[in-house]
């Protein structure tokens, strides 16, 4: 007597059909495409956040040095980024016959655009030639900086008391 074998058991020995393989490959390509598109947004956000963290670090240091030295500090916005001039000594205090300074510059990527919105202003203007002055008391004006890379942008507002970022807005096309 011959054993009963189902049609699916016989089919397993033959392999998969071309249609089944095509459907599985289509689903895999779709998933890989979605992952790559998603990682593209992460890369854009990471590129936008690099100079933002440097600006925050620089404004916080300017506030600290202004109060320590009781002398205004100036952050200058240049066509390639922004810069500040520091004293050579790490604590920021003037030492006898010490007139040495160094300039710390942060360069933004060539494709990135930096615009600023001053306190009380409605619109952003190009940053080159503008300055952020931290008074000897450690206070500065509230400033909103917008970093644009392609159609993505990140806006940050600097706190006038601490130099920290207190508000931010992020737009990356394709992100929900």
How far apart are alpha carbons 118 and 162 in whole angstroms?
A: 17
What per-residue confidence (pLDDT) applies to 96?
58
Residue of 126, 128, 85 lying closest to 103 (CA atoms)? 85
Phi, psi dihedral angles at 100 (to 5 degrees): -85, 140
> CA-to-CA distance for 44 and 109, rounded, in angstroms?
12
Return the pLDDT at 79.
92
pLDDT of residue 36: 67
Q: What pLDDT was estimated at residue 37?
A: 63
**Which has the closest alpha carbon to 85: 107, 64, 60, 58?**
58
What's the pLDDT score for residue 95? Answer: 58
Structural domains present in the chain: 17-171 (3.55.40.10)
d(C-alpha 101, C-alpha 116), whole Å: 27
* pLDDT for res 32: 82
What's the whole-model pTM score?
0.68
Contacts of 89 (CB under 8 A, 6+ apart): 95, 98
CA distances in angstroms from 48 to 9, 45, 96, 114, 173, listed in the order given:
56, 5, 42, 10, 14
Contact 56, 158 (CB under 8 A): yes
Per-residue pLDDT of the chain (176 residues; tens, 9 = 90+): 565 655 555 555 578 888 889 999 989 888 887 766 655 555 778 888 899 999 999 999 999 988 888 889 999 999 999 999 876 555 555 555 555 667 888 999 999 999 999 988 889 999 999 999 999 898 988 899 999 988 889 999 999 988 888 888 888 886 54
């Amino acid at each position: 007597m011959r054993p009963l074998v189902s049609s699916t058991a016989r089919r397993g020995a033959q392999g998969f059909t071309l249609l089944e393989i095509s459907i599985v490959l289509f689903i895999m390509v779709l998933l890989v495409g979605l992952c790559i598109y998603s990682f593209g947004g992460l890369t854009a956000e990471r590129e936008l956040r690099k100079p933002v963290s440097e600006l925050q670090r620089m404004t916080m240091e300017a506030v600290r040095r202004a109060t320590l030295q009781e002398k205004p500090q100036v952050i200058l916005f240049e066509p390639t980024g922004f810069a500040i001039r520091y004293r050579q000594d790490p604590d920021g205090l003037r030492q006898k016959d010490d007139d040495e300074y160094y300039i710390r510059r942060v360069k933004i990527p060539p494709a990135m655009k930096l615009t600023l919105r001053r306190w009380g202003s409605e619109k952003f203007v190009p940053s080159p030639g503008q300055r952020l002055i931290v008074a000897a008391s450690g206070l500065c004006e509230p400033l909103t900086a917008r970093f644009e890379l392609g159609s993505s942008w990140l806006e940050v507002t600097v706190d006038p008391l601490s130099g920290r970022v207190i508000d931010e807005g992020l737009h990356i096309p394709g992100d929900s």
